[in-house]
Amino acid sequence: MLSDDGSYTAYSKEYDEHYHSTKDGALKESYVKHVIPAFKSLKSRDEVHILDICYGLGFNTLCTILYYRIHSPKTRLRIYSPELDTELITSLKNFTYPKEFNVFREIILELSSHNTYEDKQLYIEIFLGDAREYIKRFSDKFDIVYQDAFSPSSNPILWTKEYFNDIKNTMKEEGVLTTYSIALKTRIALYENDFLLYLNEGEDYRTATIASQKELQNFKKVDMEHKISCNKDIKPLRDADLIDT
């Protein structure tokens, strides 16, 4: 399906949701809600470790490589990305990607066939399986987490307080997490895990969220104490609430 910025995205029958916002557009959403704010929040470094939740069509991973090649070509990227849907990954060799990704043909083919890609600058690993299990392997590793699962209402297991606790453990203390979700339940789940919450705002896209344990300079902080005091009944999603769902 063609999204509004001219890039194609896909629709999941299982989750009854598109892989990207069709209004913002797949390519644009990836840049403005994930890649650019994460890049702006980090000090430049020789190697950046990224957890991409979840791989889906791979826009976040591919946009990241494109962006770093232009803005920080010497940085080595190591990207780790879980994905449950094996058939989807196999099918990606035939997906109609935007022309900006033409340079990544070899990477797309390798990932689609072997789930990993490596060269001097780049390591990418797609883990075929459950993100909840996968993230337990990592500790104090990631500079950036792209939280881009299907929505909290259709895929709640990737938005609970316990999930974000595990995510926090995978991250370096100065790491940043980006997400399109502005739901208070999501923000509380992060806040109760000691994340500070920031607005990712722009004129031509829907506002999104950035979370970090460190203070960020370039973004407006969300006053969580105030929000919680105005919405006393709102609680984060919890694993225990999802046992029968």
Ligand X SMILES: C[S@@+](CC[C@H](N)C(=O)[O-])C[C@H]1O[C@@H](n2cnc3c(N)ncnc32)[C@H](O)[C@@H]1O
Residues of this chain that interact with ligand X (CB under 6 A) are 19, 30, 54, 56-60, 82-85, 88, 130-132, 148-150, 155, 158
Query: CB-wise, 51 or 57, nearer to ligand X?
Result: 57
Least distance in angstroms from the C-beta of 206 to ligand X: 15
Q: Are 145 and 165 in contact (CB under 8 A)?
A: no
The nearer residue to ligand X, 161 or 229, going by C-beta atoms, is 161
Q: Between residues 58 and 175, which has the closer beta carbon with respect to ligand X? A: 58
| Rounded least distance, CB 84 to ligand X, Å | 4
Smallest gap from Cβ 114 to ligand X, in A, equals 18
Of the pair 80, 150, the CB lying nearest ligand X is at 150
CA separation for the pair 239, 56 (Å, rounded):
23
Residue closer to ligand X (CB basis): 101 or 191: 101
- The partner residues of 135 in beta bridges, in order of sequence, read none
> Minimal CB distance to ligand X: which residue?
56
115 three-class SS: coil
- What secondary structure letter does DSSP report for 74? T
Contact residues for 119 (Cβ-Cβ < 8 A; gap 6+): none
**Residue 176 — φ and ψ, nearest 5°?**
-125, 145
> What is the closest distance, in whole angstroms, from the C-beta atom of residue 217 to ligand X in the complex?
27
Q: How far is the CB of 15 from ligand X (least distance, A)?
A: 7
Instruction: Report the alpha-carbon angle 31-35-37, nearest 5.
Output: 100
How far apart CA 37 and CA 208 sit, in angstroms, is: 10
